[in-house]
């Protein structure tokens, strides 16, 4: 056998895979496009016209590198959130910030607590740095705060991940419940509070921001309600010492110039954001009504998607998913036990939801 550079034992031990199969991959496999793209929790309403105009104006200057300090965007976010720029780090989507956080706090063998079936990209980062995942099941389709706390204490875990509102179920906890969870956490355990869907949640789900707590990092994104998933821009809010630590390892030129301009313009156009959130809420109601007309139950959602209980087991839900994909409707489903009885449908344009209803009815009839 020829000699070649050797990967580390950790990397050799990991499978070569991705947490999500993209719709583009499925389209290549099927050799035809989807007619409704309702699986990736994107915002099909798109960014504000003011954002598109700002990007158009900035296009001639893409020969320049970005500002490695993200100065203007951090200043605008700080003003919006009533914190200081020293309490904010900007990165290439929440996914990148999750990886940087794990890198800072996890060594090989370190226990990390999360929910079984929660956002899988976080798990990939933990595995990639050699951490040991400790998972607890959902309870009544919500992440179980009591079980998460018990696991943290039992394992002496330095890191716990929790999303509110939740992906993949769309459920949420109240601010008071989350505040009690934070107060009960050991001071040496860092909570990653993923609030990617915070803009589409009721105000009662979001605790007041308190950057005096060194063991809480709150992560948000421009990918969902702001309609910039393809731009990859997220940010974390936390204590100054914890935020400054990101500067030791982040890719300082990772945010491209156009992303910075688009995110700044999106943040400035709150009226457009409010209008989109209203459309998302209407879309959630429509998906729930579609489910009910087909004899299925929609789980109440605070996100830009609705998880639909197919009423049987994971095998049946997988058949519903496959039937929709065969009929050119891209949706996804939770994979963990119990949660896997559901499919997950993103809010989309009116015509896409109309197609979804038509093809869901066809799929369910074919499965009888």
Q: Going along 164-255, which residue ranges are E strands?
A: 190-194, 216-221, 234-237
Q: What mean pLDDT do residues 343-362 have?
A: 98
- Cα–Cα distance for residue pair 197/228, rounded to 1 Å: 13
CA dihedral 46, 47, 53, 59 (to 10 degrees): -90
Per-residue buried b or exposed e for 167-177, using 16+ beta carbons within 10 Å of the residue's own CB: bbbbbbbebee
Return the minimum-mean-pLDDT range out of 8-22, 93-107, 198-212.
Answer: 8-22
Which helix (H) or strand (E) segment holds residue 194: the answer is: strand 190-194
CB 100 within 8 A of CB 246: yes
Q: Which residues on neighbouring strands pair with residue 36, listed in sequence order?
A: 329
Do 59 and 220 contact (CB within 8 A), yes or no? no
Give yes or no for residue 18 having a pLDDT over 90. Answer: no
Q: Where does 49-268 sit in CATH, by number? A: 3.40.640.10
pTM of the model: 0.95
For the segment 181-202, the average pLDDT, to the nearest whole number, is 98
Task: Give first-to-last CA distance, the chain, whole Å.
Answer: 55
Instruction: Give the integer Cα–Cα distance in Å for 49 and 53.
Output: 6
Q: Are strands 329-330 and 36-37 parallel, antiparallel or unpaired?
A: parallel
Residue extents of the structural domains in the chain = 21-46+271-363, 49-268
Long-range Cβ pairs for the range 27-31 (8 Å, 24+): 30/325
Cα–Cα–Cα angle for 118, 41, 255, nearest 5°?
90
- Specify the CATH number of the domain 21-46+271-363: 3.90.1150.10
Average pLDDT (302-326) is 98
Structure-token match 């400035």, residue found = 268
176 touches 205 (CB < 8 A): no
Tracing tokens 């990390």 back to the chain, one arrives at 112
User: What's the gap between Cα 256 and its chain centre?
Assistant: 21
- Confidence category of residue 17, pLDDT binned at 50, 70, 90: confident
pLDDT band with cut points at 50, 70 and 90 for residue 234: very high
What Rg value do the Cα atoms of the chain yield, rounded?
A: 21
pLDDT digits (tens, 9 = 90+) for 139-163: 999 999 999 999 999 999 999 999 9
pLDDT of residue 1: 55
Summarize the confidence of residues 81-86 as an average pLDDT: 98
């Amino acid at each position: 056998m020829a000699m070649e550079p050797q990967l580390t034992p950790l990397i050799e031990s990991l499978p070569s895979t991705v947490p999500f199969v993209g719709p583009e991959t499925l389209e290549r496999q099927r050799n035809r496009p989807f007619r409704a793209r309702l699986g990736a929790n994107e915002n099909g309403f798109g960014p504000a016209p003011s954002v598109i105009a700002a990007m158009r104006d900035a296009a001639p200057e893409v020969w320049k590198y970005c500002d490695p300090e993200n100065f203007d965007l951090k200043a605008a976010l700080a003003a919006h959130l009533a914190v200081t720029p020293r309490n904010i780090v900007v990165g290439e989507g929440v996914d990148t910030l999750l990886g940087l956080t794990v890198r800072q706090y996890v060594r090989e063998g370190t226990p990390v607590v999360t929910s079984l079936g929660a956002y899988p990209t976080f798990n990939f980062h933990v595995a990639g740095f050699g951490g040991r995942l400790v998972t607890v099941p959902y309870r009544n389709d919500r992440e179980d705060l009591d079980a998460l706390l018990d696991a943290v204490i039992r394992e002496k875990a330095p890191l716990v991940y929790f999303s509110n509102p939740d992906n993949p179920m769309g459920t949420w906890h109240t601010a008071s419940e989350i505040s009690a969870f934070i107060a009960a956490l050991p001071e040496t355990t860092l909570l990653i509070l993923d609030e990617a869907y915070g803009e589409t949640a009721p105000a009662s789900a979001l605790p007041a921001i308190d950057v005096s707590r060194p063991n809480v990092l709150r992560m948000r994104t421009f990918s969902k309600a702001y309609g910039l998933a393809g731009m990859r821009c997220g940010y974390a809010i936390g204590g100054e010492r914890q935020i400054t630590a990101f500067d030791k390892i982040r890719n300082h030129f990772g945010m491209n110039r156009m992303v910075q301009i688009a995110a700044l313009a999106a943040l400035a156009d709150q009226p457009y954001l409010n209008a989109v959130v209203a459309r998302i809420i209407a879309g959630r109601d429509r998906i729930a009504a579609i489910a009910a007309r087909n004899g299925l139950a929609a789980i109440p959602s605070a996100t830009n998607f609705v998880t639909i209980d197919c009423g049987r087991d994971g095998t049946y839900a997988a058949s519903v998913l496959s039937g929709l994909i065969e009929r050119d409707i891209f949706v996804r489903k939770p994979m963990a036990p119990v949660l896997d009885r559901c499919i997950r449908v993103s809010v989309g344009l009116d015509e896409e939801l109309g197609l979804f209803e038509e093809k869901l009815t066809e799929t369910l009839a074919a499965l009888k």
